[in-house]
């Protein structure tokens, strides 16, 4: 009997040890981490205000209507000048942070405010009215170009970074993961007003967001669509207008007057403008090569002339109809590309090997004009570019040409020149 009692006690003890192992074999104290997104607080960026006269930093575009000149200042805003006879008086500065492009339709200013499209009534620039804000308009690429977007999350905004938090606790077979729900409540909506340093470089035109705006027609503002397409924006005049966006591609009817842009696999758009009855899209590749698509209207089928430059990113381009040729600035010299007579391809490229640091190029009659630290006038022929005259006292970072008046902007303001005679360009006082 005593032996049976001992055996029973041994079995009980063994049974207790098994129960202990079953309960605690899969229990483990661990520390785990989770990264929480930090969203950009857009409150200060969204605040578009009229300011006192600030210093010009980097003028990049000039537009005008019947009453005012508007000069874009890269990443800062728009300077406004009031027209008076043949001169203009500085009026005010519309601060619009992180602006990289803008367009004007009568008294409506369409501009980017970082990634948003903003429509501003500038009938009286001293008392502007924000008519509409299209959130994330310039950050909505899809398909194969999602990499063009600044990281963002719908309804929460742009992501400027992450913040890591650690949690220590016990996991079991039944609950193999730590419960972060309390941390999710604490850290699920982190914000910051600071934009990462790597978002903008010394060449913001090469940085995200990739955007461009041109006015085609009376009130249509063409911008890049989600993928190989246009996003055509309209806003009828008046405060009761409704902002509309029409996405069109090659298969859309009607698709607009000009062929939709093409998005290349290893390149991105840098600048878009409308001149010479063409839409010009300048682009840069990641290996320091570049391109320019020149889109011209054709009622039967859209035509796009594609220029490719393996060794440089083009700064500016102009087309001379009489020579059927495109003149291009490389940053070091002036190139010419001749159209093929029976296709949209270029017949040949020629480097004139004329050293220049000009950033703008345009044509006046049968002459080519470059602008940068000085203004130069050239007479082009098939294989030669002859210097006609140089004006070291004329400099600028952007221009606007209306008939015989050339408007130039630099860090000192805007200046007007009579270009009736290119060998005797005169400042209009």
Q: How many CB atoms lie within 10 A of CB 323?
A: 17
Which residue stretches of the chain have pLDDT < 50? 1-4, 6-23
- 282 and 292 in contact (C-beta within 8 Å)? yes
pLDDT reported for residue 239: 53
pTM of the full predicted structure?
0.89
- 226 and 143 in contact (C-beta within 8 Å)? yes
Say how far apart CA 341 and CA 416 lie, in whole Å. 38
Which residues lie below 8 Å from residue 73, measured CB to CB, with a gap of 6+?
A: 56, 57, 58, 59, 60, 79, 93, 99
pLDDT reported for residue 16: 42
pLDDT reported for residue 75: 97
Helix (H) or strand (E) holding 351: strand 346-351
Residue with tokens 């999602």: 146
pLDDT reported for residue 348: 94
- 93 and 77 in contact (C-beta within 8 Å)? yes
Each as own residue / partner, the long-range contacts of residues 147-154 (CB below 8 Å, 24 or more positions apart, any chain) are 148/208, 148/209, 148/210, 148/268, 149/208, 149/209, 150/115, 150/199, 150/208, 150/209, 152/115, 153/37, 153/39
What are 118's strand-pairing partners? 111, 133
Q: Give the dihedral of Cα atoms 195, 200, 206, 208; nearest 10 deg.
A: 0
């Amino acid at each position: 009997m005593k032996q049976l009692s001992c055996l029973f006690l041994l079995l009980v003890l063994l049974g207790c040890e098994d129960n202990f192992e079953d309960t605690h074999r899969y229990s483990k104290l661990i520390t785990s981490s989770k990264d929480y997104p930090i969203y950009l607080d857009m409150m200060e960026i969204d605040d578009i205000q009229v300011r006192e006269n600030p210093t010009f930093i980097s003028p990049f575009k000039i537009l005008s209507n019947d009453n005012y000149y508007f000069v874009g200042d890269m990443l800062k805003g728009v300077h406004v000048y009031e027209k008076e006879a043949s001169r203009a008086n500085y009026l005010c500065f519309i601060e619009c942070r992180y602006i990289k492009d803008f367009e004007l339709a009568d008294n409506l200013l369409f501009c980017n405010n970082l990634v948003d499209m903003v429509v501003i009534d500038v009938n009286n620039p001293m008392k502007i009215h924000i008519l509409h804000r299209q959130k994330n308009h310039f950050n909505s690429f899809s398909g194969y170009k999602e990499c063009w977007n600044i990281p963002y999350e719908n309804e929460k905004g742009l992501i400027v970074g992450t913040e890591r938090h650690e949690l220590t606790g016990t996991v079991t077979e039944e609950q193999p993961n730590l419960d972060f729900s309390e941390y999710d409540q604490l850290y699920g909506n982190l914000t910051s007003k600071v934009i990462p340093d790597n978002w903008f470089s010394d060449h913001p035109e090469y940085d995200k967001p990739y955007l461009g705006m041109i006015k085609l027609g009376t009130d249509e503002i063409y911008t890049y669509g989600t993928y190989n397409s246009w996003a055509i924006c309209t806003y009828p005049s008046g405060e009761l207008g409704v902002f509309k966006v029409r996405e069109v591609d090659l298969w859309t009817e009607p698709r607009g007057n000009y062929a939709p842009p093409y998005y290349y696999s290893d390149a991105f758009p840098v600048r878009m403008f409308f001149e010479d009855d063409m839409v010009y899209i300048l682009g840069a590749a990641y290996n320091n090569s570049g391109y320019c698509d020149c889109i011209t209207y054709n009622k039967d089928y859209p035509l796009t002339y594609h220029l490719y430059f393996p060794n440089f990113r083009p700064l500016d381009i102009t087309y001379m109809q009489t020579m059927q040729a495109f003149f291009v600035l490389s940053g070091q010299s002036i190139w010419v590309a001749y159209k093929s007579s029976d296709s949209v391809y270029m017949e040949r490229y020629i480097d004139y090997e004329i050293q220049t640091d000009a950033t703008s190029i345009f044509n006046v009659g049968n002459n080519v004009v470059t602008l940068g630290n000085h203004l130069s006038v050239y007479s082009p022929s098939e294989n030669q570019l002859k210097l006609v005259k140089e004006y070291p006292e004329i400099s600028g970072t952007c221009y606007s040409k209306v008939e015989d008046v050339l408007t130039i902007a630099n860090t000192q303001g805007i200046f007007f020149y009579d270009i009736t005679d290119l060998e005797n360009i005169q400042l209009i006082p």
